[in-house]
Amino acid sequence: MRAVWLREFGAPTELHAEETPEPSLAPGTALVDVAYANITFVETQARAGTGPFHPELPTVPGNGVGGVVRAVGDGVDPALVGTRVVGSTGGSGGYAEVALVPEAVLYPVPDGLALDAAVAVLADGRTASLLVEAAAIRPGERVLIEAAAGGVGTLLIQLAKAAGAVVVALAGGPRKTGLATDLGAAQAIDYRDPAWPGLLREPVDVVFDGVGGAIGRTAFEQLRRGGRILTYGLAGGQWTEIPEEEAERRGVRVVRPTAGPEDMRRLTESALRAAAEGRLRPVIGQRFPLERADEAHAAIQERRTVGKTLLVAGGAHQAGLSTP
């Protein structure tokens, strides 16, 4: 099979597709012919040797995959063979034509949901669902979403609006702010303008902070008394610094969502079901062949992408696996 290897931390050009032995089945796992592999921003940071995770090298990156089950190990329902699934590899092995996925994090794709859409919803859908659930949004509240044109952000817009929020989206450039508006944001602001806080019509009740750094800090300052901030990403390079005493003085609550395995399964299944029913629409902004994983990483790193970025592996040619 073909797989993408990272042997040295560095630029996207450190990613190389190579012939690689297929993974071996183990008890409690399934062998999946991969059609699509999910790429996340944090994976670009890991490749560069920055960010919160530092994999042991050499490694085949990639966590979220979708495809068709080829075989199952001992203890796994044999009826899964031949079914469309999405799942998580555990942090490595996803950028490949064949992946090994533990049964505990394997999800059958609901009827009516294309496989590429299911992969786009897999990680970002459960993350967005967890954040919205933890925020306990009340109808009419103003919600500020950073990185609103990204994989999580595009889903947060839809979920927050469905909860009755007035959504204010932060994104970089007219293409991205336009997408946020199309998805239902009441106001979309280009955060690259240093004066963007002055464009807010009024303070906000909730901030979903997926950027961190200076943007996250400035967003925190836009919260009214009684507001909440949920920090879940550091696309800006570092976490948002919010001293507890300052948050308490301003009457702002820092919400840190937590979820165990059962919660994660519930949230993932809920997001997949919502996508299958048309209540949640993942935005797949760009696709790259497996051999061009380096170009995909470069596009994400340079902020040229919108929505979800997918790698297209060997199994994607199978009929019915992708959206039109």
Predicted confidence (pLDDT) per residue in 21-61, tens digit: 999 999 999 999 999 999 999 999 999 999 888 899 999 99
Give the model's pLDDT for residue 315.
Answer: 61
Q: Is the pLDDT of residue 316 over 80?
A: no
Task: Tell me whether the omega of the peptide bond preceding residue 108 falls within 30 degrees of 0, making it cis.
Answer: no
The domain tally of the chain equals 2
For residues 190 and 169, what is the distance between their CA atoms, to the nearest angstrom? 9
The domain of 75 spans 2-108+283-317
List alpha helices for the chain, DSSP H.
Answer: 41-48, 115-135, 151-162, 174-182, 213-220, 244-250, 261-276, 293-301
Amino acid code (one letter) for 323? T
* Helix, strand, coil percentages, rounded to 5, for the chain: 35, 30, 40
Q: What percent of the chain has pLDDT over 70?
A: 97
Q: Are residues 6 and 82 in the same domain?
A: yes
Tell me the per-residue pLDDT of 302-314, one tens digit each, with 9 for 90 and over.
999 999 999 999 7
Residue 175 lies in a domain: yes
Q: Is the pLDDT of residue 319 over 60?
A: no
- pTM for this entry: 0.94
Residue 324 lies in a domain: no
Q: Are residues 25 and 100 in the same domain?
A: yes
Q: Are residues 194 and 292 in the same domain?
A: no
Residue 116 lies in a domain: no
Helix or strand or coil: residue 26? coil
Pairing type for strands 15-19 and 64-72 reads: unpaired
Q: Are residues 73 and 145 in the same domain?
A: no
Residue 58's nearest CA partner among 99, 18, 7 is 7
Q: Tell me, what CATH number does 234's domain have?
A: 3.40.50.720
Q: Are residues 62 and 156 in the same domain?
A: no
Residue 71 lies in a domain: yes
**pLDDT-based confidence at 262, cuts 50/70/90?**
very high
Q: Are residues 179 and 246 in the same domain?
A: yes
Q: Tell me, what CATH number does 58's domain have?
A: 3.90.180.10
Torsion (CA) 232, 166, 137, 202 in degrees, nearest 10: 80
For residues 195 and 88, what is the distance between their CA atoms, to the nearest angstrom? 40
Q: What is the mean pLDDT of residues 278-305?
A: 97
Q: What is the mean pLDDT of residues 249-260?
A: 95
Other C-beta atoms lying within 10 Å of the C-beta of residue 117: 27
Tell me the per-residue pLDDT of 73-112, one tens digit each, with 9 for 90 and over.
999 999 999 999 999 999 999 999 999 999 999 999 999 9
Give the model's pLDDT for residue 47.
Answer: 97
Q: What is the mean pLDDT of residues 121-142?
A: 97
Give the model's pLDDT for residue 236.
Answer: 79
Q: What is the mean pLDDT of residues 138-161?
A: 98
**pLDDT-based confidence at 235, cuts 50/70/90?**
confident
Residue 117 lies in a domain: no
Q: Is the pLDDT of residue 320 over 50?
A: no
Query: Which residue carries 């919160």 as its tokens?
Result: 52
For residues 88 and 119, what is the distance between their CA atoms, to the nearest angstrom? 10
Q: Is the pLDDT of residue 317 over 50?
A: no
Average confidence score pLDDT of the chain: 95
Q: What is the mean pLDDT of residues 7-13?
A: 98
Q: Are residues 191 and 156 in the same domain?
A: yes
Give the model's pLDDT for residue 268.
Answer: 98
Which residues are CB-neighbours of 4 under 8 A, at least 6 positions away?
Answer: 15, 16, 17, 18, 60, 61, 62, 95, 96, 290, 293, 311
Residue 321's nearest CA partner among 20, 91, 117 is 117
Residues 150, 209 contacting (CB under 8 angstroms): no
The sign of the CA dihedral 141, 142, 147, 149 is positive
Q: Are residues 220 and 290 in the same domain?
A: no
Residue 207's nearest CA partner among 261, 258, 154, 147 is 147
Q: Is the pLDDT of residue 255 over 90?
A: yes
Q: Is the pLDDT of residue 11 over 90?
A: yes
Give the model's pLDDT for residue 21.
Answer: 97
**pLDDT-based confidence at 321, cuts 50/70/90?**
low
Q: Are residues 96 and 138 in the same domain?
A: no
Which residues are CB-neighbours of 109 under 8 A, at least 6 positions away?
Answer: 66, 83, 84, 85, 86, 115, 118, 272
Tokens of 72: 């199952």
Q: Is the pLDDT of residue 261 over 50?
A: yes
For residues 90 and 59, what is the distance between their CA atoms, to the nearest angstrom? 12
Q: Are residues 157 and 86 in the same domain?
A: no
Tokens of 114: 């294309």
Helix or strand or coil: residue 19? strand
Q: Please give the residue that has the higher pLDDT: either 315 or 67.
A: 67
Give the model's pLDDT for residue 53.
Answer: 85
Q: What percent of the chain has pLDDT over 90?
A: 93
Q: Are residues 63 and 127 in the same domain?
A: no
Residue 236 lies in a domain: yes
Residue 291 lies in a domain: yes
